[in-house]
């Protein structure tokens, strides 16, 4: 069957190519996938099942059930001091559907959105798919992969409408400092922009506490604060994300979803409401485990020839610089996969800034992580 012309040039990303290769291989130590290895807690599963027994089996309200919107507000107030109202919350099909609907609501054809490299790959396609133009901002590791005000000003044009922030960041695991975020906020005000702040890794910050961008004075009205339960509550398969945003944006997103998904799976919403209200200790305990794994893997990486790994402040990714091996990101990843059966992702899949880096997801047991590091160490020794 003939496909639409827009797909003729669409090739699988560096990330998807690795995922597809692993599917055909046996015995791979897989550090490529960004999802917690822990399964959803049994009481959360029970809350979803109870939702079905209680009769929540009909079409949901477009914006999401009130209880889960209230739970999202309470969670953010409790953890991050961010105050909102359930009227300003939209429940989405995973965190992933938020930018799609938000850009659909906000972008006119040709509007530019600033995309800070290295970035979560999907944003690029989501901006383009909604008629926008991504404008890439190259960043540096020594600056936490956060842009300086000069880098922002150099990238902005009269067509710039918004900027995407993602701290703690995928793929870098890095967190912008409060000072850097305040500088970005001043720029946002100066250029009258909207901000999509993807804070889905808010529960995994290892040094200090998470800074919620919308808490910076003047930013709440301009910010679409995106998060979800996939990472914090180990609920990737339940597909629940949520957004805090101004009312007119939420209303338009509801209209858009009315002909895309017509709301979100009802049982998942009931499970997420329960999860957001009851799991604080478990969320904290898992963050501690991720932090310990990251520390141990970082130490192993820094002992390898040709590899340098900066401490990640959050999320569950390490983003080591492998340029000292003389290989490109892609060469490193494919040679490592084929010779040692360890799967990681090429940094170049996340924009040009990522060239010379690889992404390692610490979403496996300590034992698997250490075995993978043994193999990677041997691989680095063999090529240098």
Strand partners of residue 205: 314
Size of the site for ligand PMP (CB under 6 A): 13
Q: Does 120 bind ligand PMP (CB under 6 A)?
A: yes
Q: How far is the CB of 19 from ligand PMP (least distance, A)?
A: 12
| 126 scored as a contact of ligand PMP (CB under 6 A) | no
Torsional sign, CA 85, 88, 91, 94: negative
Asked if 167 touches ligand PMP (CB under 6 A), the answer is no
Tokens standing for residue 322: 């492998």
CA distance 26 to 46: 34
Residue whose C-alpha is closest to residue 324's, from 356, 368, 282: 356
CA angle at residue 226 from 221 to 231, to 5 degrees? 155
Decide if residue 95 touches ligand PMP (CB under 6 A). yes
Peptide bond into 168 cis (omega under 30): yes
* Cβ nearer to ligand PMP, comparing 181 with 200: 200
Q: For residue 145, what are its two tokens?
A: 């992969």
Identify the residue whose tokens are 């999202």.
72
166 binding ligand PMP? (CB under 6 A): yes
Structure tokens at 29: 């130590």
- Please give the radius of gyration of the chain, using alpha carbons only, rounded to the nearest integer: 21
63: contact with ligand PMP by CB under 6 A: no
Going residue by residue from 213 to 242, which x/- string records binding to ligand PMP, judged by CB under 6 A? ---------------x-x-----x----x-
Which lies closer to ligand PMP via its Cβ, residue 240 or residue 304?
240
Is the dihedral angle over the CA atoms 173, 174, 176, 178 positive or is it negative?
positive
* Residue closer to ligand PMP (CB basis): 319 or 379: 319
Nearer to ligand PMP, 167 or 206 (CB): 167
Which range binds ligand PMP by CB under 6 A, 58-66, 89-97, 210-218, 305-313? 89-97
Judged by the rule CB under 6 A, the positions of this chain that interact with ligand PMP are 34, 94-96, 120, 166, 170, 198, 200, 228, 230, 236, 241
């Amino acid at each position: 069957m003939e496909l639409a012309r827009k797909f003729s040039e669409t090739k699988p990303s560096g990330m998807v190519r690795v995922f597809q290769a692993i599917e055909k291989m046996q015995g791979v130590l897989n550090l490529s996938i960004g999802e917690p290895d822990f399964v959803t807690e049994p009481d959360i599963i029970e809350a979803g099942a109870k939702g079905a027994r209680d009769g929540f089996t009909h079409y949901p309200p477009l914006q999401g059930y009130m209880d889960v919107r209230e739970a999202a507000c309470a969670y953010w107030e409790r953890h991050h001091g961010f105050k909102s109202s359930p009227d300003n919350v939209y429940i989405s099909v995973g965190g992933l559907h938020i930018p799609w609907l938000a850009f659909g609501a906000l972008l006119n054809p040709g509007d530019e959105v600033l995309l800070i490299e290295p970035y979560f790959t999907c944003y690029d396609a989501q901006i383009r798919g909604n008629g926008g133009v991504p404008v890439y901002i190259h960043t540096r590791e020594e600056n936490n992969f956060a842009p300086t005000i000069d880098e922002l000003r150099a990238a902005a044009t009269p067509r710039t409408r918004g900027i995407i922030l993602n701290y703690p960041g995928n793929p870098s695991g890095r967190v912008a400092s409060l000072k850097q975020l305040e500088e970005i906020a001043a720029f946002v005000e100066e250029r009258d922009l909207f901000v999509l702040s993807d804070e889905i890794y808010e529960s995994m910050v290892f040094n200090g506490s998470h800074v919620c961008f919308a808490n910076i004075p003047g930013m709440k009205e301009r910010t679409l604060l995106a998060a979800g339960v996939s990472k914090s509550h180990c609920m990737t398969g339940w597909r629940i994300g949520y957004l805090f945003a101004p009312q007119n944006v939420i209303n338009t997103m509801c209209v858009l979803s009315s002909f895309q998904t017509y709301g979100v799976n009802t049982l998942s919403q009931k499970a997420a409401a329960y999860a957001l209200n009851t799991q604080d200790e478990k969320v904290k305990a898992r963050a501690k485990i991720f932090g310990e794994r990251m520390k141990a893997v970082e130490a192993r990486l820094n002992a390898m020839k040709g590899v340098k790994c900066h401490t990640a402040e959050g999320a569950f990714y390490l983003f080591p610089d492998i340029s000292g091996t003389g290989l490109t990101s892609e060469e490193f990843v494919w040679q490592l996969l084929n010779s040692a059966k360890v799967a990681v992702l090429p940094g170049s899949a996340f924009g040009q800034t990522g060239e010379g880096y690889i992404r390692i997801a610490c979403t496996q047991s300590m034992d698997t992580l250490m075995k993978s590091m043994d193999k990677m160490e041997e691989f680095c020794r063999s090529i240098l």
